[in-house]
Structures are given as C-alpha cells and as structure tokens.
A and B are shown apart, each in its own frame.
Chain A
Amino acid sequence: METLIILLTGFLVSVAVYLLLSRSLVRVIIGTSLLSHAVHLLLLTMGGLKKGGVPIIGEKTLAYTDALPQALILTAIVINFGVTALFLVLAFRTYQETGTEQLDQLRGMADE
C-alpha cells in the first residue's frame, strides 16, 4: 500500500512540475496546488498507513495508527488553501493591471 501511494505521489509531482513549467500563470497556480497535494500524501505515508487500530497506545494493543500525520496534513491543507486563494486573486489583479497572464511577458524591464 505504501508503495502505491508513493508512486501516486511521484505521479502528482511530475504532473505538477509539468504545469509549473508552462507559461500561463493559472496553470502554474494549479501546479503549486497539485504539488501540495502530493506532499500531503507523502506526509501520510511517512507516518505509516492505517493498520486497523485506533490512535491510542495501550499495554495490549497490537495495531496502532499514528495520528500525528493527520494533524500535520490538516494544517498544511488549510495553509495551502489560503495561499492558493491569495495567489489566484493576485493573478487576477495582475491580469487586470498588465493585461497578460503569460509569464514571459511579466518579466519586466530592468530599469523603470
């Protein structure tokens, strides 16, 4: 199961990198969002996937689920949501102001 999730993570990262390398700003933003999803899966896998137990260690427990990665992911998702929302609004404002969302046209002059 871990191997499968890691492969999925790798696939998501490759898709995200492809999107990040494109010229359109919106695609880049979608890329960053996908990138975060990939890392959330990675965090989950790193804590060990579910083994059918509750997250409480007792003297007689055999299976135990690590609860910490869930807490980390929850926080990371909220942060990612905030950043993506802000980035999208900014992209829209940039489009309004400069009339383009192509990154190569946003390079800007050295002197102004």
Chain B
Amino acid sequence: MNNIIVLPMVIPLFTAIILIFFLSYVRVQYWLSLVALVITAALSGYILELIQREGILRLDFGQWPPPFGILFVADSFATILVLTASIVSALILIYAYYAGQSEHDHPRFFYSLILFLVAGVNGSFLTGDIFNLFVCFEVMLLASYVLITLGGRKRQLRESVKYIGINVLSSWLFLVAIAYLYGTAGTLNMAHLAERMAEAGPTPLITVISILFLIVFSLKAGLLLYFWLPGAYSAPPTAVAALFGALLTKVGIYALFRIFSLLFYHDPFVSETLLGIMAALTLIGGSIGAVAYNDIRHIVAYNVVIAVGFILVGLAIATPAAIEGSIYYLIHDMIAKGLLFLLAGTIVTLTGTGKIEEMSGLIRHYPLLGWLFFIVILSLVGIPPLSGFIGKVLLGQGAVQAEAYLLLGLAFLSSLFVLYSLLRIFLNCFWGETTISEGEETPLRKGLIIPSFILAMLMFGLGLGAELLAPYVKEAAETLLNPNLYIEPILYQ
C-alpha cells in the first residue's frame, strides 16, 4: 500500500480542473501545467527508485483487498513509461506555449486538455484492473478527440470524424472483449486474471478472447491496423501532433505488452506467430508509406508506424534480451518521435508548406534546426552514442538467440527505410540553394527551438547513460517475462 502511486494520474487531473478557473490567463495556465508535469515527472522518478528498493507497489482503492477492488500497480515497466511520458509532455507543452504566442490562436482549454490526456496516459500505465484500463483509455481518447479538432480547420474536422469513428469502434470491441473475459474468468483484476488463465490453459474460448484483445490494442497502437494513423497524425497543430506521436500509440503498445506477457502467453500461436506476422507486415507497410509520400507530415506519421512494428518484434520474440531492447526502444521512441514531430511541424510553420519539393536550403537560415533534424535521423536509425542504438542492438541480439532471422532482417531493413525517408526530407529541405533571400526569412523563435534542443540532449543522455537505466529496464523485462513476479505481490502480500 502506497498512496504515492496514484499521484501521477491525480496531479494532472486536478491541475486540469483548476486551470478551467483561469481560462483567460494563458500565462498562469502555462506555468501551472508546467509545474504539475514537472512534479509528476519527479514523483515518478522517486517511485521508480522506490520499486527498486521495495518491489512492486500497489494501492487498493478504498482498502478493498485484491481481487475485489480496483487497484493501481506500479512496476518498473509502467513507471519508466510514466516518467518518460511526463518529461516529453512537459517539453511539448513549452513548445506549445511559444507556438501559440506567435500564432495568436491559443485555444483556452488547450492546457487542461493536455493535462487530461497525460492523466489518461499515466492512468493506463499504472492501473492493475482491466476495466479500469478501459476507463483510462477513454479519458485519454476523449481528450485527444478534442485536441485533434482544436482550431477547427476543415482538414482537422474531416480527419477527426474518421479518428473518432475508428476509436469508438475499437473501444466497443474492447468492451466486448472485457465482457467475454469476465464471463469466462469471473474477474477483472489483472493479477487474478493471470492466475486463472494459467489454470485454464489455452482453451479455444480464451484464444478467441486473446485475438479480440489483439485487434483492440492493434487498432490503438497502429499495429497493422494503422490505416487511420497517417491522416489523424498529420492534421492537428504541431504540438498536438507531437503529443500524439510520442504518447498515444505507446499506450497501445504498453497494453499489448502487458496483456500478452501476463494473460495470454499460453498460446504461442497468438502471442508469437500472429504477433510476429502482424509486426512484420507493419514494418513493410510503414516502410512503403514512409518513402511513398512527399508531404513531411505524412512521412513522419509513417515513421511512427515503423517504430510500432519494430517494438512489437521484441514482444513476438520474447527473449529477455529482446524484451529489454523493446523497452529501451520504447523509451527512445517516445523522445525521438516527440522531437521528430516538433521539428517537422516547425519546418511546416516556417515555410508554410508541407511538400518537400517546395522548400530548399533551410539550413542557411536555421542551422540549429537543421542539425537537430540530422541528430534525430541518426538516433532513429540507431547510430551510437544516440539512444536508438542500445534498443536495436539488444533486440537484434534477442532475435539471433531465438533464431527469428526473418523478423530480424525486416526490422533492420526498416531502419534503412527510415534513413532514406528522413534523409530525403533533409536533403530536399535543408540542402540546396535557399529560396528565401537574406533578411526575409520568418524568424525562428528561441522558445520553439529550446524544447527540441532539450529533447535532443535527452537522446544523447539516454544513449550515453543507458548503463544508469539498465537496472530498471532489466527489472521491467524480468517482471514481464515472469508473470509470477507480478501476481505474487498483488494477491499474496
């Protein structure tokens, strides 16, 4: 029992409500929400340290012992993701503040909505009850529905209709899956479910339920069922798109990891073969999409898809090294995708177009922007000492150990496609003769480049300081691979 683990969800939630009373004071809203996110990040760092000392923490709401009540569970995997999500969203918030200042269209509920989104994301990571997971997903999605439409341009409204439609449908499937699961197992507590699933073994009914969950979370994560993603992620303003790219699909990936490592690992057909095939197809589809478009926003959105495939290759292989690699890559990808979306959005804002053939020679006027873009390319491709490297090496090692050479080949081939698609942006936009004459360029404000700079530094930090993070990631992978480590502290302590 430890009350501290509810705070990463409650702090953003209450701050978001308080912000509604300060609607006309944008500056107050900005500082309050920034402080809330920084406190959340600091607390999750502390929780991570606490888990290292005391093992998995749990909080039973209303003192109802599990499996009867709802509970929050903080293990290393969830807490690492909460920490990363809080840091990345705080940086994106800084960007949003300065971007909004220059565009004069600061929607008044913007900060509240971002905090609601973060509350939903953190809640999804920390919950230990599968229905509660659904509720937290909905909190996050409702905030994202409004965020995607904020500003109300035609394109945003059109894309949001599809985005909401597909998400309502997948939430429906989620509820259907929960209903069947409850009918079969008679419980919704994840640890209790894990125990009952282990007793029952892979009966046909449970396999069907696991496939339902696979469809639900694949839709949310963009695993194979990513057709809605490029449109939805390329429509909203830069800061919102960055938040989506960095956080939303990652929650789906987290849910896939949790569900398929804890509940449905008994049937290798679903948890290995099917997941492997879907991850492979995602890698192929994402790679084709990334090189097929000429619009920066689309290219960047397809890069999200490739990363989803890459991370889930680790889950399909499920050796200790591969899982560790996936966790490293997940952390890296939250930071890198946030940065990539911020930079792409900045380029679009500066030039007024998303088409790469219409811009040229940007590095002359914006050298820092260009070099940051180059760094993020290197990091996504996996050049040491940047943060993508360690994840890719560990995942490759795991794939070799498990002799999954096809997945290994596709995963690393996709890195080349990432390199090609992003270098195309870099060569077209930053090199060449500049089309803007001296003094006529749109000035790049410091507030827009500082968050990107900090994110780039974080990537260096994660790459060079992987050793510091290693004990936490190791423990996270261990808990994922041994469900008993998760069940024991919840049901029997």
**A residues within 8 Å of B by Cβ?**
20, 25, 28, 32, 35-36, 39, 42-43, 45-47, 68-69, 72, 75-76, 79, 82-83, 86-87, 90-91, 93-94, 97-98, 103, 106, 108, 111-112
Extra contacts, 10 of them, besides A75-B135, A83-B145 (Cβ < 8 A), are: A32-B172, A35-B169, A39-B175, A43-B175, A46-B182, A79-B171, A82-B142, A90-B145, A90-B161, A93-B157
Is there an interface contact between B172 and A25, defined as CB atoms closer than 8 Å?
Answer: no
**B residues within 8 Å of A by Cβ?**
131, 135, 138, 142, 145-146, 149, 152, 154-155, 157-162, 164-165, 168-169, 171-172, 175-176, 178-180, 182-183, 188, 231, 294-295, 355
Task: Give every chain A residue within 8 A of B180 (Cβ-Cβ).
Answer: 46
Contact of A86 among B142, B157, B175 (CB under 8 A): B142
CA distance A25 to B162 in the complex (A): 10
Is there an interface contact between A32 and B169, defined as CB atoms closer than 8 Å?
Answer: yes
6 contacts between A and B (CB under 8 A): A42-B176, A86-B142, A87-B168, A90-B145, A93-B149, A94-B158
**CB proximity of A22 to chain B, nearest CB, Å:** 12
Task: Give every chain A residue within 8 A of B294 (Cβ-Cβ).
Answer: 111
Task: Give every chain B residue within 8 A of A86 (Cβ-Cβ).
Answer: 142, 145-146, 164
Task: Give every chain A residue within 8 A of B164 (Cβ-Cβ).
Answer: 83, 86-87, 90
Task: Give every chain B residue within 8 A of A28 (Cβ-Cβ).
Answer: 165
CA distance A35 to B174 in the complex (A): 12
**CB proximity of B70 to chain A, nearest CB, Å:** 10
Is there an interface contact between B158 and A39, defined as CB atoms closer than 8 Å?
Answer: no
CA distance A97 to B153 in the complex (A): 8
Which 10 A-B residue pairs are closest in the complex by CB-CB distance? A46-B183, A94-B157, A39-B175, A46-B179, A43-B179, A42-B179, A32-B168, A79-B138, A106-B158, A108-B158
CA distance A105 to B345 in the complex (A): 27
Tell me the nearest residue of chain A to B159, going by C-beta.
Answer: A108
Contact of A76 among B160, B161, B175, B355 (CB under 8 A): B175
CA distance A75 to B182 in the complex (A): 16
Is there an interface contact between B161 and A79, defined as CB atoms closer than 8 Å?
Answer: no
**CB proximity of A105 to chain B, nearest CB, Å:** 9
CA distance A97 to B327 in the complex (A): 43
Is there an interface contact between A47 and B182, defined as CB atoms closer than 8 Å?
Answer: yes
**CB proximity of A2 to chain B, nearest CB, Å:** 10
CA distance A76 to B132 in the complex (A): 11
**CB proximity of A43 to chain B, nearest CB, Å:** 5
Tell me the nearest residue of chain A to B183, going by C-beta.
Answer: A46
